[in-house]
Structure 1
């Protein structure tokens, strides 16, 4: 995990008047140190041994705070379980349709796409997301 990213995130929170609790630090550090795109429940299960008094509501409240501060991205897929990404740089994802694993796809952002969409549709485009769906290597091997 890049401690520099965590330190910058902490500084941003403090500059916005947010108090840094041990739980908040643990959630933020976990998100910025993983590439697994966890759900709130997965984060809770990962941290509950170290924070037995922490609730799932604490996780959700902090994820909302981090999202509003621009420190994490929420990935929704139309079902009830959002995934969270501590990497807020522009990047794409490959998603396994079998196990729902999400992997970052390190490809340069497609420039000009948002402007073209805006010009063509009249929408005021804020951002875009590109996801690729398929079967991961592990699930492919399990099927064979």
Structure 2
């Protein structure tokens, strides 16, 4: 797929690369709009979907009714904090290597990928509970 270069799309991607909190499209919009005042939420969402389709970012659906976006496309899991609701990256775990293939061997259908989400308390909430 050939995609024309876009300053707005580059700004959206660059903003996501600076974040580890997996912002929603609205958060991306509010921040990138400072650089591009005429930017619309629809433009942000379309560009986020295109970046997802191109494999440059991940789209996370964590059950809170909003899509979250992650510029880290390397294999990793996430933690959703049960107290503050933040979405945190977890480091890659070697024990999960080849999980798709392992599941494919015991499942009658065809595994095409997975998303692993853990639930608990983030580091900040753990510090505040002490």
User: Is TM more than 0.5 here?
Assistant: yes
Q: Which runs of 5+ in 1 are unaligned?
A: 1-15
Query: TM-score by structure 1 length?
Result: 0.81
Selected match of 1:129 from 98, 115, 124? 115
1:67-122 per-position Cα deviation (integer Å, ceiling 9, x unaligned): 11111111102332011111111011122112221121112351232122112121
CA RMSD of aligned residues (A): 1.7
What is the SS of the residue equivalent to 2:46?
helix
Query: Contact 1:117–1:123 at 8 Å: present in 2 too?
Result: no
Q: CA deviation at 1:143?
A: 4.9
| Counterpart check, 1:31 vs 2:16 | yes
The 5 A counterparts of 1:89-108 are: 89-108=74-93
Q: 2:31 aligns with which of 31, 43, 46?
A: 46
| Residue 77 in structure 1 maps to residue 86 in structure 2 | no
1:1-37 CA distances to partner (integer Å, 9 max, x unpaired)?
xxxxxxxxxxxxxxx4212222111001111222121
Determine if the alignment matches structure 1 residue 60 to structure 2 residue 36. no
Q: Which aligned segments of 4 or more residues in structure 1 are displaced greater than 4 angstroms? A: 141-144
Rounded Cα–Cα distance in structure 2 between residues aligned with 1:138 and 1:35: 14
Query: Secondary structure in 2 aligned to 1:93?
Result: strand
